[in-house]
Amino acid sequence: MINKNAKIYIAGHRGMVGSAIWRTLEKQGYTNLIGKTSKELDLRNQQDVLEFLEAEKPEIIIDAAAKVGGILANNDFPYQFLMENIQIQNNLIDGSLKVDVKKFIFLGSSCIYPKFAPQPLKEDYLLTDSLEPTNEWYAIAKITGVKTCQAIRKQFGKDYVSMMPTNLYGTHDNFDLKSSHVLPAMIRKFHEAKENNNANVVLWGSGTPLREFLFVDDLAEAVVFALDNELPEYLYNVGTGTDLTIKDLAELIQKVTGHQGEIEWDSSKPDGTPRKLMDISKMHDLGWKHRVELEDGIRKTYNWFLENIENYKEVKL
């Protein structure tokens, strides 16, 4: 197990994932956590990142930093999603090797797997077929990170491991309708429609794709599990192992928010990958399992949204 006084740098500690990891580590008694805001340290700048790592000399790095977004954002800004993510992770991974970081945990996404890979998605399916076009730029960047950590593990024998979470949601999520993922976007849409005399809610696609969702605190628990144990392989899926249709998700969020209007589906908009369910047997076999079920997680997330709603009032439907 890692010493509770070990210096741990969490890249992206202000984001939904990074802040959840920070909270979880603090709760479990880790006392020497480091974080830098994007204004304090531009992770896209190689020299700045290397100088920071040389000065701080962290024993462990958790890479939760990334440029992220939904279908619309990925489609509109392919270059930024490819280049900025590669810059961020390359600077952190290469810098970690140069300053002899003991353990590196790289966080990616289930979108690294091929669009039509067999379900559920096994780690072995990586690079076996073509990607989903709506987010291939982000996926290619994350695949690069996975393979870079694998190369270091193979060549230098260092404990660098990649963890690929399924679709994440939770407190500190992004509810901006132009850049958010499906679950937080739905929470905001249903809430604002309820406030607008239960107006109808228009959602993208057919509602038929199947998706899996993991509460972000469960991912944080998986990361701490990876700190406390030396995982024998280079790549692990992290999820719940169950999925539901987008239509069922919409109806669940409608129930939680109390919206009484109708749901309309705009089939002219893309669905994305037909199904994306993770095979999480490797993590289960090691002893980790999620704790928060979907409806409970949505309630926690909706309550947090209501407590922080002033931050989102500037953009209306």
The domain spans of the chain are 8-173+212-242+276-292
Is the whole model's pTM more than 0.85, yes or no?
yes
Is there a binding annotation on residue 204?
yes
Q: How confident is the model at residue 120 (pLDDT cuts 50, 70, 90)?
A: very high
Strand pairing class (244-245; 210-211) = antiparallel
Average pLDDT, integer, range 207-219: 97
Q: In angstroms, what CA-CA distances link 295 with 252, 272, 273?
A: 7, 23, 23
Of 138, 160, 169, 312, which residue is the catalytic one?
Answer: 138
Is there a binding annotation on residue 244?
no
Range with the largest mean pLDDT of 108-122, 124-138, 238-252: 238-252
Is there a binding annotation on residue 16?
yes
Is there a binding annotation on residue 172?
no
Is there a binding annotation on residue 259?
no
CATH superfamily of 8-173+212-242+276-292: NAD(P)-binding Rossmann-like Domain (3.40.50.720)
Is there a binding annotation on residue 252?
no
Determine the Cα–Cα distance for residues 90 and 84; give it in Å rounded to an integer: 10
pLDDT tens digits for 252-264? 999 999 999 999 9
Catalogue the E-assigned strands of the chain: 8-11, 33-34, 60-63, 103-107, 159-165, 167-169, 201-204, 210-211, 213-215, 235-238, 244-245, 263-266, 275-276
Average pLDDT, integer, range 30-37: 97
Query: Residue 315 has what pLDDT?
Result: 44
Which among 60, 13, 44, 16 has a CA at the least distance from the CA of 176? 16
pLDDT of 314 over the 60 cut = no
Q: How confident is the model at residue 159 (pLDDT cuts 50, 70, 90)?
A: very high
Give 205's contacts (C-beta < 8 A, 6+ positions apart).
246, 265, 266, 267, 269, 270, 271, 272
pLDDT of 313 over the 70 cut = no
113 is catalytic: no
pLDDT of 53 over the 90 cut = yes
Residue 197 backbone dihedrals phi, psi, to 5 degrees: 55, 40
DSSP 261-295: S-EEEETTS----SEE-B--HHHHHHT------HH
Q: What length is written for the chain?
A: 317
Alpha-carbon dihedral 295, 297, 299, 301, rounded to 10 degrees: -140
Is there a binding annotation on residue 168?
yes
* Lowest-pLDDT range of 27-31, 64-68, 79-83, 179-183: 179-183
Determine the Cα–Cα distance for residues 281 and 305; give it in Å rounded to an integer: 33
Average pLDDT, integer, range 170-198: 92
